């Protein structure tokens, strides 16, 4: 069954602003393509999320249009204040002493982080020899090229390199990797999937979790306890696989992952009964990923325990885990603020427990990089992941 092309799926809060005609038409084309992929059956939410975000020419990250910043749908720390990158540079500079002066960034957004990191490292007398960017979005890559024009040390890659040395930064990258969605019944787990209903509209469906997913959920419950009936959440197979692949590629390197997430016992807490899926559209957050596919950013928090397990299995050393606030304070953001007092409000957004300070975490792992690391000198919570 193909999806109706006459009207958009009737999902999403009515308070959301409507898209323009071009956006609406693009969303309908993507919805029709998803419907064709579904046919008369269903697909996993991970496949739906992949298409909604990355389908060539139509997915959220591949299509043209502002995504990040005031004119887009959401904002990330590098766009809030340049002091984020300037502070991060202190940790990068320390790591350069042990790894060599090469940087690799995954998902570089608007290019603000790269531009400020390169400038601050040069000011500190620790210039980067190279800055490679892995970017899957053609639209964002074009924006990065404009932002970083004239910087000969910057190079774009289509995929993860076979060997990685230096410092790797992944800022708000893992939360947009596809996840599978599940719900617990009284006795077992169901996988929540995506189908097309009798009216030709994208809709949720469910079926028994397959053996591999069931085993993963049983392992989670052995650690956190049996979860209550009706409990809904997500399981990522892509994130730990990404960590493992990167870990195996590391030479002498430090990886810094910055993202929304929790240790497993907090991620699958009984009170977090509706999971962590969230969508972002014109700076409005909502929880309906089926509304206007291709026009919303879709995210799910990161299970950092699974990241730690994958890094260790790849032969890497875990080097730190803490909140974004503590990491930035350890790296000297208050010293940066003293030199730019006009950034006080923006810095508070980065540090506040009610905003980004506690919601975002920083995890470090690597190979051949002896500690201790500056960003984890106080308040390291690594023991919560193990």
What DSSP letter does each residue of 287-351 carry, written as one string? S-TTSSTTSSEEE--EEHHHHHHHHHHTTPEEEEEEEHHHHHHHTTHHHHHHH-GGGHHHHHHHH
Positive or negative, the Cα torsion across 258, 262, 267, 273?
negative
Q: Answer whether 191's CB lies under 8 Å from 210's CB.
A: yes
Q: Answer whether 161's CB lies under 8 Å from 210's CB.
A: no
Strands (E), the chain: 43-44, 102-106, 130-134, 154-157, 164-171, 180-184, 189-196, 202-208, 232-235, 250-262, 278-281, 284-286, 297-299, 302-303, 317-323, 360-367
Residue (of 118, 107, 92) closest to 144 by Cα position:
107
Q: Answer whether 110's CB lies under 8 Å from 143's CB.
A: yes
pLDDT tens track, the chain, 386 positions:
334 333 334 445 567 888 889 999 999 999 999 999 999 999 999 999 999 999 999 999 988 777 888 878 899 999 999 999 999 999 999 999 999 999 999 999 999 999 999 999 999 999 999 999 999 998 899 999 999 999 999 999 999 999 999 999 999 999 999 999 999 998 899 999 999 999 999 999 999 999 999 999 999 999 999 999 999 999 999 999 999 999 999 999 999 999 999 999 999 999 999 999 999 999 999 999 999 999 999 999 999 999 999 999 999 999 999 999 999 999 999 999 999 999 999 999 999 999 999 999 999 999 999 889 999 999 999 999 98
- How far CA 350 is from CA of 300, 323, 353, 360, in Å, comes to 20, 10, 9, 9
Report all structural domains of the chain as residue ranges with CATH numbers, in order of start.
Answer: 77-172+237-261+301-385 (3.40.50.12710)
Residue (of 374, 280, 275, 271) closest to 320 by Cα position:
374
274 in helix, strand or coil? strand
Residue 65 pLDDT: 78
Tokens 């929880």 locate to 287
Residue 12 pLDDT: 52
Residue (of 127, 130, 129) closest to 119 by Cα position:
127
- End-to-end Cα separation, the chain, in angstroms: 46
Residue 228 pLDDT: 96
Cis omega (within 30 of 0) for bond into 77 = no
What 36-43 contacts at long range (C-beta under 8 Å, 24+ apart), as own/partner pairs, is 36/2, 36/3, 38/1, 38/3, 38/194, 38/195, 38/196, 39/1, 40/1, 41/195, 42/193, 42/194, 42/195, 42/205, 42/207, 43/193, 43/194
Instruction: Look up residue 347 and give its two tokens.
Output: 């810095």
Residue (of 184, 207, 190, 199) closest to 41 by Cα position:
207
Residue 72 pLDDT: 81
Q: What is the pTM of this model?
A: 0.95
């Amino acid at each position: 069954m193909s999806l109706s092309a006459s009207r958009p799926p009737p999902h999403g809060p009515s308070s959301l602003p409507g898209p323009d005609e071009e956006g609406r038409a693009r969303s309908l084309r993507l919805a029709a393509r998803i419907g064709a992929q579904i046919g008369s059956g269903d697909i996993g939410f991970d496949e739906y999320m992949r298409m909604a975000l990355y389908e060539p020419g139509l997915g959220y990250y591949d299509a043209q249009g502002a995504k990040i910043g005031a004119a887009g749908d959401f904002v990330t720390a590098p766009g809030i204040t340049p002091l984020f990158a300037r502070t991060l540079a202190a940790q990068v500079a320390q790591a350069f002493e042990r790894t060599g002066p090469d940087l690799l960034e995954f998902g570089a957004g608007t290019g603000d982080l790269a531009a400020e990191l390169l400038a601050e490292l040069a000011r500190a007398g620790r210039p980067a020899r190279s800055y490679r960017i892995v970017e899957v979005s053609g639209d964002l890559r074009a924006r990065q090229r404009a932002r970083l024009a004239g910087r000969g040390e910057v190079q774009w890659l289509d995929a993860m390199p076979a060997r990685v040395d230096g410092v790797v930064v992944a800022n708000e990258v893992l939360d947009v990797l596809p996840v599978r969605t599940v719900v617990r019944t009284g006795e077992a787990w169901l996988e929540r999937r995506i189908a097309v209903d009798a009216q030709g509209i994208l809709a949720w469906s469910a079926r028994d979790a397959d053996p591999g997913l069931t085993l993963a959920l049983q392992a989670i419950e052995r650690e956190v306890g049996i979860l209550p009936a009706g409990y809904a959440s997500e399981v990522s197979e892509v994130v730990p696989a990404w960590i493992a692949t990167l870990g195996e590629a590391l030479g002498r390197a430090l990886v810094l992952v910055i993202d929304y997430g929790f240790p497993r016992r907090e991620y699958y807490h009984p009170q977090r009964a509706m999971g962590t899926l969230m969508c972002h559209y014109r700076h409005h957050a909502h929880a309906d990923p089926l509304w206007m596919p291709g026009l919303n950013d879709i995210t799910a928090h990161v299970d950092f325990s699974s990241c730690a397990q994958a890094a260790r299995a790849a032969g890497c050393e875990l080097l730190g885990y803490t909140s974004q606030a503590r990491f930035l304070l350890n790296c000297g953001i208050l010293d940066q603020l003293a030199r730019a007092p006009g950034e006080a409000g923006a810095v508070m957004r980065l540090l506040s427990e009610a905003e980004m300070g506690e919601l975002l975490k920083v995890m470090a792992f690597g190979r051949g990089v002896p500690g201790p690391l500056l960003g984890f000198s106080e308040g390291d919570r690594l023991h919560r992941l193990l």
